[in-house]
């Protein structure tokens, strides 16, 4: 009889292991645990056992019943749990959290586009220091000793004759000092002026300088290059004009205008009712500048130009206040 009990336990255990759904489990229950089942039958058999063996057999049988019930219950709970739909700890129907993806600042975008256009025309890109000496920023560029730009009112000085460059033109001097002609380079970077911040001007802003020096470079090449640039950058349908101007380091000098983006040339507040907007300064490199860097002005000619990047961004995107570029208002920056 004891052997029978052990065998029943073994069988129950094996069959339970092979039970994979609630239907099978119910059959197992009927087979072993129901009143007329195997365990019930064993209890029934007690009646015919020797009276002396009964306490021992009863104990073993009770243990078997407990064991079977316990494992049956546990298995039932497992199978029921597995049947339930999985509870998901979050709501899949909620809209996702949008990631804020950063973009390039409009000034950087404009800068990169200008670079791309000039690089495609064969220009290289050069850099120079933002802290400059009077020599590179003014003297070598043919500024007269009493030129108003050399005044504290217009220029931010750091020490005697040491200043924050007021334009990128000093990089022209540095490039020509280290390189023999031909030179064909653009020079982008920060520039600084001691000016009141307004809708039109900032204290710190970017410029990009251009310089082309070789034998026989002409003013018509200057025009051709700048017009080709303006058409690529502002669109092929723009109208442009060159106006005589003055810079100490170029002679002759000219400023380039394009038709106003807002009124298309009719005249409005943005273009001060002229219909035109200035986009850059330019001219043929002054012989004094060539002399300062040791180029022979009898042999070489060249042109130079410079434009403000922030102002270019205003023209390109139709923005009417330069300060908004550096307010870092995400609602503004997101539009680029």
Given the rule CB under 6 A, which residues bind ligand PHE? 167, 169, 209, 247, 250, 281-283, 304-306
Which residue number has the CB closest to ligand PHE? 306
Q: Cβ 214 to ligand PHE, closest distance in Å?
A: 17
Q: Cβ 282 to ligand PHE, closest distance in Å?
A: 5
Q: Are strands 124-125 and 157-159 parallel, antiparallel or unpaired?
A: unpaired
> Among residues 12 and 229, whose Cβ is nearest to ligand PHE?
229
Query: Which segments within the chain are labelled E, that is strand?
Result: 124-125, 131-133, 157-159, 162-164, 183-192, 204-214, 240-247, 250-259, 276-285, 301-308
According to DSSP, residue 317 is labeled H
> Among residues 61 and 307, whose Cβ is nearest to ligand PHE?
307
> Among residues 189 and 306, whose Cβ is nearest to ligand PHE?
306
Q: Cβ 235 to ligand PHE, closest distance in Å?
A: 23
Q: Cβ 251 to ligand PHE, closest distance in Å?
A: 10
Other beta carbons within 10 Å of 40: 14
> Among residues 29 and 193, whose Cβ is nearest to ligand PHE?
193
Q: Cβ 305 to ligand PHE, closest distance in Å?
A: 5
> Among residues 19 and 250, whose Cβ is nearest to ligand PHE?
250
Instruction: Give, for 172, the enclosing helix (H) or strand (E).
Output: helix 170-178
What SS3 state is found at 176? helix
Query: Residues with Cβ < 8 Å from 147, sequence gap 6 or more?
Result: 138, 248
Handedness of CA 107, 270, 192, 169 (dihedral sign): positive
The DSSP-derived string for 229-294 is HHHHHH-TT--EEEEEEEETTEEEEEEEEEE-TTTTTS--TTTTTSSEEEEEEEEEEPHHHHHHHT
> Among residues 106 and 281, whose Cβ is nearest to ligand PHE?
281
Q: Cβ 172 to ligand PHE, closest distance in Å?
A: 7
291 CA to centre of own chain: 44
Q: Cβ 185 to ligand PHE, closest distance in Å?
A: 12
252 upstream amide cis, omega within 30 of 0: yes
Measure the CA–CA gap between 253 and 243, rounded to whole angstroms: 8
> Among residues 172 and 259, whose Cβ is nearest to ligand PHE?
172
Q: Cβ 331 to ligand PHE, closest distance in Å?
A: 32
> Among residues 169 and 259, whose Cβ is nearest to ligand PHE?
169
């Amino acid at each position: 009889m004891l052997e029978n009990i052990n065998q029943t336990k073994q069988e129950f255990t094996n069959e339970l292991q092979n039970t994979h759904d609630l239907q099978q489990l119910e059959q197992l229950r009927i087979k072993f645990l129901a009143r007329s089942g195997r365990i019930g039958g064993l209890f029934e058999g007690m009646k015919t056992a020797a009276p002396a063996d009964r306490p021992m057999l009863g104990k073993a049988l009770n243990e078997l019943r407990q064991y079977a019930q316990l494992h049956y219950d546990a298995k039932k709970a497992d199978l029921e749990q597995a049947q339930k739909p999985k509870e998901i700890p979050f709501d899949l129907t909620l809209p996702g959290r949008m990631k804020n993806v950063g973009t390039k600042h409009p000034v950087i975008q404009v800068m990169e586009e200008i670079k791309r256009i000039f690089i495609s025309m064969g220009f290289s890109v050069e850099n120079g220091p933002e802290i400059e000496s009077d020599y590179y920023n003014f003297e070598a560029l043919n500024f007269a000793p009493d030129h108003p730009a050399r005044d504290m009112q217009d220029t931010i000085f750091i020490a005697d004759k040491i200043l924050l460059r007021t334009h990128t033109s000093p990089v022209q001097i540095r490039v020509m000092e280290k390189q023999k002609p031909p030179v064909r380079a653009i020079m982008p970077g920060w520039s600084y002026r001691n000016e009141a911040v307004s809708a039109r001007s900032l204290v710190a802003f970017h410029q990009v300088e251009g310089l082309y020096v070789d034998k026989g470079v002409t003013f018509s090449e200057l025009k051709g290059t700048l017009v080709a640039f303006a058409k690529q950058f502002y669109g092929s349908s723009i109208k442009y004009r060159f106006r005589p101007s003055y810079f100490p380091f170029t002679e002759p000098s000219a400023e380039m205008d394009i038709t106003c983006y807002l009124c298309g040339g009719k005249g409005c507040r943005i273009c001060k009712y002229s219909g035109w907007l200035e986009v850059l300064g330019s001219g043929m490199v002054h012989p004094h500048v060539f002399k300062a860097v040791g180029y022979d002005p009898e042999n070489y000619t060249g042109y130079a130009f410079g434009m403000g990047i922030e102002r270019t961004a205003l023209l390109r995107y139709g923005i009417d206040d330069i300060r908004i570029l550096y307010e870092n208002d995400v609602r503004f920056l997101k539009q680029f």
